[in-house]
Structure 1
Amino acid sequence: MTQQHRPATSPPASASTSAAASAQDTDRAAAYPPLAAPRPPGEYRVWPRTFHDRLTAPLPGLKAFARFAREGATRPGPAGLADVSRLPCTPGPVPRADARTVAVTWAGHASWVVRIGGLTVLTDPVWSRRILGTPARITPVGVPWSEVPRVDAVLISHNHYDHLDAPTLRRLPRDTPVLVPAGLGRWFHRRRFTRVTELDWWEATELDGVRFDFVPAHHWSKRTLTDTCRTLWGGWVLTGPDGKRVYFAGDTGYGHWFGRIGRRYPGIDLALLPIGAYDPRWWLSDVHCDPEEAVRAAQDVGARHMAPMHWGTFVLSAEPVLEPLTRVRAAWRAAGLPRERLWDLPVGGSRVLE
């Protein structure tokens, strides 16, 4: 009995235990902040001039640019491009869905048609054949624009040209609700969109019973020579009225945010995660996941299913065009995860969440 009581009554041990518990409580509060109440759609916000303080890692400096110019590894060689004809692509219609259905259709790159809670949501819609500074698509758009149902909302992850495409957005009615990162609202207002909601990390809004939370990502933003990190970047967690959750990661490297997202939003049913544009790693590892990291990210957020994206559409880096798919399948298998929970869709492919 005496031995059992000593640790509890010893002053040094008690102080140490109390300090440890206090530190754990602080860490827990930081990792599990309460979910924010949904903000009103379209409210006017004032933002900082820059979001440089949100960077996970410093942006490349002059030495890195000099090395990149010397190596010139921006595209795969002939062998890496030889498999373009074998890229999986089956353009088709979007499946029927009702208010109780969650369904996703991959249009290519980071563009998805998500059906949730009776809404049709587009993520980072890019229906153009070509984007600035990039060769033309190597696969066609997976969903013809004429087959896209009436769009109830558009989600934008950040302002890079392969995620924010002005020609595609011009096809939408100007009263389409658009949810964007902090600071990006002005871009849409200049194009006469009337229902634009800007959110900071961990903020949310709600449309017709579906909750949209904007969450951090390991990335950056830039659209012109003078606007580096002037707008925020991130991903989205969509929660339907029945509690089903879809996580759209946008564009991101691997890091600590995934674990925090999983703890704040337990029960993610499907994670849409990027697996391409990762080579060379010394240049891109801070901002783009490779396939193995994407599988780890899916585990970190606790997703039941993972659907790869951000590959097989535009040639943005030096890896062979089919390598992301073969590597993500191998990483999923090596992690011992059920094969049926990897939704490695072809461009144009659809799945319905049972």
Structure 2
Amino acid sequence: MSTGLYRQECAITVLGGPTVVIDLGGLRIVSDPTFDEAGPHGYLTKTAGPAVDEDGVGPVDLVLVSHEAHPDNLDERGRAFAKAAPLVLTGPVAAGRLGSPAVGLSPWASRSLPRADGGGDLTVMAVPAVHGPEDGERDTDGNVNCEVTGFVLSGQGLPTVYVSGDNASVRTVADISRRVPDIDAAVLHAGAARVPAKFGGRPLSLDSRGAAAAAAVLGADTVVPAHYDGWAHFSEGLPEIELAFHEAGLSALVRVAAHGTWVQLTR
């Protein structure tokens, strides 16, 4: 396991599973922290721990939680990590369950926080996500499976970064792209997660072809795949992702580095 992550000016690294560290505007942002070691988590099984642990990540300015209902997106140590952060942004239902310091944002709502680089504010917009097939049964809040939130990070002079969360809907990505037409980089949860008891085993997150389609719709210059390994319920991995982008003629967009290794971003 890596001993630590040096601060970057503008970069992304995947630690394994859904956990991504984004250094942007002088801030360190962690999405969907999962730091437990491999082992069973109820009906899900974690097959690998993170490339970097909590100590290696160091002080964090903001945690993004797409949803807290499933342990592959917020496990026990990840939950403790989030609770110790200065600020957690998530959906309203998840914020109510997590308590302080979580703040709930409904889709299209934003929260701004001052950047450490003196460049003004970083704005975080919550965007919708569909955690399963479009025709999946919806709960009383209109969510498929559970409430899931994606995020768009932006600021003056910074690349605009989309973090999908566990979204399986290309239609939803198209809606986001219409509202935010200038996305520069996208972190896509792309492991085609499947649980036999849910929706007939259909994907609960983007499959590889869906990820390629989402990238084409977004028009982003950089795509960082995440949430395709580390858990047994992923049905597709990096080879399938790279093949789908190759077949779509989009291989030049994909940035893959060893977990815990930085992918540099440019505006």
Question: Is TM-score (shorter-chain normalized) higher than 0.5?
Answer: yes
Bigger proportion of residues as strand: 2
- One-letter amino acid of the counterpart of residue 251, structure 1: D
1: distance between equivalents of 2:87 and 2:181?
Answer: 27
Counterpart position of 2:110: 204
The normalised TM-score by structure 1 is: 0.63
Structure having the higher Rg: 1
The 5-angstrom pairing of residues 330-341 of structure 1 reads 330-339=243-252, 341=253
Tell me which of the two structures has the higher relative contact order, counting C-alpha pairs closer than 8 angstroms and 6 or more residues apart.
1
* Alignment equivalent of 1:216, drawn from 118, 121, 128: 128
- When normalised by structure 2's length, the TM-score is 0.82
Counterpart Cα distance in 2 of 1:286 and 1:277 = 5
Matched, 1:297 2:214: yes
Shift of 1:228: 10
Distance 1:300 1:284, change over 3 A: farther
Pick the aligned partner of 1:168 from 66, 78, 83. Answer: 78
- Report the Cα offset of residue 260 of structure 1: 1.3
**Alpha-carbon contact 2:152-2:160 (below 8 Å) kept:** yes
1:188 paired residue among 93, 98, 101: 98
Match of residue 118, structure 1, among 26, 40, 43: 26
Match of 1:251 among 166, 178, 195: 166
Which residue is equivalent to 1:22?
Answer: none
d(CA) in 1 for partners of 2:85 and 2:64?
Answer: 14
Percent identity over paired residues: 28
Q: 1:314 to 1:274 in 2, by over 3 A?
A: same
SS of 1:215's equivalent in the other structure is strand
Deviation at 1:271, TM superposition (A): 0.7
- Alpha-carbon distance change, 293 to 228 in structure 1, aligned in 2, over 3 angstroms: closer
Does residue 308 (structure 1) correspond to residue 219 (structure 2)? The answer is no
Alpha-carbon distance in structure 1 between the residues aligned to 2:203 and 2:218? 19
Shift of residue 307 of structure 1?
0.9
- Paired residue secondary structure (1:93): coil
Q: Once the 2 structures are TM-superposed, how far is the Cα of residue 131 of structure 1 from its aligned partner?
A: 5.6
Letter in 1 for 2:226: M
Aligned residues: 247
Q: Which residue of 1 aligns with 2:152?
A: 237
Query: Are 1:350 and 2:265 an aligned pair?
Result: no
Q: Deviations over 1:153-182 (max 9, x none)?
A: 111111222112243232456462011101
Report the RMSD for the aligned CA atoms in angstroms.
Answer: 2.7
- Cα-to-partner distance string for 1:64-115 (whole Å, 9 max, x where unaligned): xxxxxxxxxxxxxxxxxxxxxxxxxx84632432xxx321111111111111
Cα distance in structure 2, aligned partners of 1:138 and 1:347: 15
By how many angstroms is 1:254 displaced? 2.7
Matched AA of 1:244: P
1:161 and 1:173 map into 2 onto residues whose CA distance is 15
Task: Determine the C-alpha separation between the residues in 1 that align with 2:203 and 2:46.
Answer: 25
> How far did 1:242 drift?
1.5
Q: Which residue identity is paired with 2:103?
A: T
Paired residues for 1:131-150 under 5 Å:
132-133=41-42, 137-150=46-59
Q: Identify unmatched segments of 5+ residues in structure 2.
A: 115-120, 133-140
| In 1: Cα distance, 2:84 partner to 2:64 partner | 15
What amino acid does structure 2 have at the position aligned with 1:267? Answer: D
**Structure with the higher fraction of residues in helix conformation:** 1
Partner SS, residue 259 of structure 2: coil
Partners of 1:219 and 1:137 lie apart in 2 by: 19
For the 8 Å contact 1:91–1:347, the answer to whether it is kept is no
Q: Deviations over 1:111-135 (max 9, x none)?
A: 1111111111110101011462256
Name the amino acid aligned to 1:254: S
> Does the 8 Å CA contact 2:25/2:158 hold for their aligned counterparts?
no
Q: Aligned in 2, Cα 1:135/1:174: closer, same or farther, shift over 3 Å? A: closer
Q: Give the secondary structure class of the aligned counterpart of 2:112.
A: strand
